[in-house]
A and B are shown apart, each in its own frame.
Chain A
Amino acid sequence: MILRNLKMIPPLIRTIISRLLLGVLTLVAVSVIIFSTVSMLPGNFATAILGQSATPETVAAFKSRLGLDQPVATRYFNWVGGILHGDLGESLSSSPGAPRFVADIISSRLRNTFLLASVTALIAVPLSIVLGVLCALYRGAAFDRVVNGISLTTISIPEFLIAYILLIFVAVRLRWLPTLSNVKDGMDVAEWVRRMTLPVLVLTIGIIAHMMRMTRSAIIGVLSSPYIHMAKCKGASPARVILRHALPNAWAPIANVVAVNLAYLVVGVVVVETVFVYPGIGQTMVDAVRTRDLPLVQACALIFASAYILLNLVADIIAISTNPKLLHPR
């Protein structure tokens, strides 16, 4: 009966549902991996906080207050149960009477990271697709070669180096922009823009090359198809051939590389955050690992994993929904 009902659902929806279920399954698996890895981290938070000279009684009391004396499985289910209720737990840095909730610690940091990521994405994604289309259109010409050369260069230079080079010239020598990007709530918009510019610029330079090159090669890959030849025989201009006939058939690989790069914006910005002292989630996680603040590390890791899974899911759905054979079954 269930099988029969499944067949009634259009294939597109069916595929999306199955991808969603798979995504949830992946997230569960990831949560297990995160929890067990973090539990296996060397070092002891209690001694880190209380100092080497703490008596066993103090350590035991401390552990029991934070629930660290429970078995691993119990702690895992407590943690997951909490998350399902929207409770990410207490930071280990809480003191009696002054609890510090993980959710409170990360929320503003996370918002900053998402802001940086979205501003960068809004600039980088359209720019790289347009550049990729132009390169495909003028493939082999001077424009294509120059853009390709620049993109290869930026891929090869590590991000922190780009960041420092820009810092030296734009911020230190020319004094156009501030060296620090420590944005705060309630800041003047113009000032906020000034402080965001450099990190956004560095990240854009960092991710644009992959997306642009993939757009270019996905389109060029389609150009050898007989229907492209047919379009030329109908008198379509080169621009029309690319935009109307090649691009619609090239979305799937482009969406994939865009998703990977956007996930990187959320997950991999710690270097740029550190260089510009930007209060994002990457720094938070690094600090939490240093202080052995396990609930905070777990929460950050889970957020990163969810971002990856979600963005890849969106890419899959775009790839599926641009496939006419799935959209319009026989």
Chain B
Amino acid sequence: MAEENATIEKVESLPSGTERGPLLLTIRNLVINGLVDDTTVPILRGIDLDVHRGEVIGLIGESGAGKSTLGLAGLGIVNEGCIIVDGSITFDGIDLRNCPESVKRHLRGVRVAYVAQSAAASFNPAHKLIDQVVESSEIHKTEPRKRAVERAVTLFGELALPDPARIGERYPHQVSGGQLQRLMTAMAMNCAPDLIIFDEPTTALDVTTQVEVLGAIRKVVQQFGTAAIYISHDLALVSQMAHRIVVLKDGVKVEEAETRRMLASPEHPYTRTLWAVRSLEKSATVAARPILDIRHINAAYGHVRVLEDVSFTVPRGHTVAVVGESGSGKSTLARVVCGLLRVQQGEVMFDGTRLPPLRKERTRDILRRIQLVYQSADTSLNPSHTVRTLLSRPLRLYFGLKGSAANQRVNELLDMIEMSGAYIDRYPSELSGGQKQRISIARALAANPDLIVCDEVTSALDQVIQEGILKLLMSLQRELSVSYLFITHDLATVKAIADEVAVMHRGRVVRFGEKNAVLSPPFDDYTQLLMSSVPQMDPDWLDGVIQKRPGESTHEPAQVVPGKRTKRADRLG
């Protein structure tokens, strides 16, 4: 079967840095405008891009930089509400800007394919996977269904999917996120296209799953010599995939270079900021008396045991990072500490006394002393309240502050989070993502807490904004000696902010201790896996990891309890 793949007849050797295949996609001076509330906003401002046959271009930049718009332009697709104002898009001699829709449609799926960010949402829930994977060949009648299915099954095998012959008979909700992402890659590859647009294909995945999917994607792309545009906000990821990297900022190309050169000597100041968070590192602090002492706790949702014999301490004024992939029990731990979920066994000591298990059993003073900042500021800030209301409610609840006293304190709080009083009457929808997260932090600070539980507070933010939030949290800790229980899946963030680290895997703490001790060898198996899964700024990193890892696809994370995250956000809102 593997031999037959070669009949896809476009296997070319990978172009090394200098020799490139013939030109496949040419974009010249592309200007695309979007329409937001009746005002025209430029999305792309005159972009040039060349993709040669068999070449993988990495496209990076933060959200809103225009990466996805540029990627879709390669398919001749412009999102609703956007228009091409100027420039040209030429795919293999075809003018995608001016040719009729029917001509473009015949390219899509056959010669240019697309892999979307959220595989779970991009598969139609009503149809079997195999029907969707071979749909392009059915639409364009490239070959009989039987052959398309055979090819798909071969691709499933190449992509290390379990049970390649039968997985296609399942429906999208019956397979995991990592598997769906690989299935979508198979869907894109099925008609052996000349060009594939990968739009953040691994962003929604855990680090450990991400490595496997990346490896699988790269393997098939290399094997078939497919040209690709690989879009991501993560430079380390892009550098594993791409021959050349293009950096976008605000719709402008700020830098373009061959991958190794870009990594070795980034020229543009903006490119250098993409390293920012990785250079941030908290220095070691001396041990202190514990503010939080978690002792042998077990917790479950119904019959599903989520935490097993979890114990560790949070010293006063320290940051303890809890790391692990989704489903490892990190967020459940946060719920236990905040009194949102009853433990089955064990106890939590807070400042020397036993913490009542549930929120409603706790005194107001204890509630005040433990605050929570949630991952998504969008859903945890009430959209119909102004910043003033959001911040003065805890002041009134815990301290009885009203009127000018409350106002003064709100202004102080805004000052602490480095936002001016000008924001005081704004609604959350009028703030940026980073500003919203700052307001969430200020709301927690309003209670003068001793402990703030931070649940993935930076995960939804761009690198540069992440760095700002992390710096803010650290400076607040120095000033107020507040302690953080910092939940994250990102080891770079851990390095930046933690004093102690607890590594969680399948509901257990597999490793706990001072940061440098935890993050230095010798590792246990899981920490080793986690550490090696963090993308490094080294184009050979992925090769190294995949060689060392025994078998791909053996590791799929446990399923997350559906709906649990959003529910909690509602309750806290």
Contacts and interface: CB of A to CB of B under 8 A. Distances in A.
Interface of A: 225-227, 229-237, 240, 244-245, 248-249, 322, 324-325, 328, 330
A240 B126 contact: no
Interface string B227-256: 000000000000000000000000000000
Interface in B170-187: 170-171, 173-174, 187
B54 interface: no
Contact of B174 (A234, A322, A330): A330
Interface string B101-114: 00001111110011
A230 B106 contact: no
Given A328-B171, A330-B173, A330-B174, A234 B139 contact: yes
A226 B121 contact: yes
Contacts of A231: 124, 135
A225 B121 contact: yes
Contacts of A245: 124, 126
Contact of A236 (B75, B121, B139, B171): B139
The A interface is mostly helix, strand or loop, or mixed, namely helix
Contacts of A226: 116, 118, 121-122
A233 B121 contact: no
B390 to A, nearest CB: 30
Given A227-B123, A230-B122, A324-B173, 16 more contacts: A226-B116, A227-B122, A227-B124, A230-B123, A233-B109, A234-B114, A234-B135, A235-B105, A235-B108, A235-B136, A236-B139, A240-B139, A248-B126, A249-B124, A249-B126, A322-B126
6 contacts: A235-B109, A235-B140, A237-B105, A324-B126, A325-B173, A330-B174
Nearest to B173: A325
B108 A232 contact: yes
Nearest to A327: B171
Nearest to B110: A235
Nearest to A237: B105
Contacts of A330: 173-174
B174 A328 contact: yes
B349 interface: no
B127 interface: yes
B77 interface: yes
A235 B139 contact: yes
B125 A325 contact: yes
Interface string B465-506: 000000000000000000000000000000000000000000
Interface in B509-553: none
Nearest to A240: B139
B174 A233 contact: no
Nearest to A249: B126
A63 to B, nearest CB: 60
Nearest to B187: A234
Nearest to B75: A233
Nearest to A223: B80
Contacts of B121: 225-227
Given A248-B126, A248-B127, A249-B126, A234 B173 contact: no
Contacts of A233: 75, 77, 108-109, 113-114, 116
A321 B237 CA distance: 42
State the 6 A-B residue pairs at the shortest beta-carbon distance, nearest first: A235-B108, A234-B109, A248-B126, A233-B114, A235-B109, A226-B121
Nearest to A325: B173
Contacts of B118: 226
B168 to A, nearest CB: 13
Interface in B78-126: 105-110, 113-114, 116, 118, 121-126
Contacts of B110: 235
B171 A324 contact: yes
B81 to A, nearest CB: 12
Given A235-B105, A330-B174, A229 B139 contact: no
A227 B123 CA distance: 5
Nearest to A329: B174
A322 B122 CA distance: 19
A229 B136 contact: no
A235 B107 contact: yes
A226 B115 CA distance: 11
Contacts of A234: 108-109, 113-114, 135-136, 139, 187
Query: Which of A225, A227, A322, A324: most chain B Cβ within 10 A?
Result: A227
Contact of B125 (A229, A236, A249): A249
Contacts of A230: 114, 116, 122-124
A231 B109 CA distance: 9
A83 to B, nearest CB: 41
Contacts of B75: 233
Contacts of A232: 77, 108
Interface in B121-147: 121-127, 135-136, 139-140
A248 B75 CA distance: 26
Contacts of A248: 124, 126-127
Contacts of B77: 232-233
Nearest to A232: B77
B392 to A, nearest CB: 37
A191 B127 CA distance: 47
